[in-house]
Amino acid sequence: MPLVRITLPANRPNGLSERVSQGVHSAMVHTFNVPEDDRFQIISEHVPGESMIWPDSFLGIAHGDLVAFIQITCAEGRSVEQKKALFAAIAANLAHAGIPENDVIINLVETARENWSFGNGLAPFA
């Protein structure tokens, strides 16, 4: 039931959006036990330096010109180990998709399960 927001630079190579989408989803399936059909994503692109901004370096990590912001809103309850495994799997998957691991910025937002509705105004976990 995670909702994933993926933000990519507008100057990205063709086909990168789908590879990134699949890479993030695959990491969630394998580390967070997300069902295969639970794929809710919003993918957007922005012009670097105008509507997408990042530093050349932060916390000793250099960033290039293909930074990807990944924000995952999900239910609470996963361990720190699972979160670390998710971050590592996403970075590795995106490296295979063409984005250097140092350019993968991930933010995890946890929320209570009763805060979700997947249609018809129903709250199945409330």
Domain ranges in the chain are 3-115
Q: What is the pairing mode between strands 61-62 and 68-75?
A: unpaired
Question: CATH classification of 3-115, choosing from 3.40.605.10, 2.40.40.20, 3.30.420.130, 3.30.429.10?
Answer: 3.30.429.10
So what's the pLDDT on residue 118?
85
pLDDT band for position 11 (cuts 50, 70, 90): confident
So what's the pLDDT on residue 122?
86
CA distance 67 to 59: 15
pLDDT band for position 76 (cuts 50, 70, 90): very high
Given a cut of 80, whether residue 12 has pLDDT beyond it is no
What letter represents residue 112's amino acid?
A
User: Mean pLDDT, the chain, as a whole number?
Assistant: 94
So what's the pLDDT on residue 83?
97
Q: How far is residue 113 from each of residues 8, 13, 16, 26, measured CA to CA in Å?
A: 28, 36, 31, 22
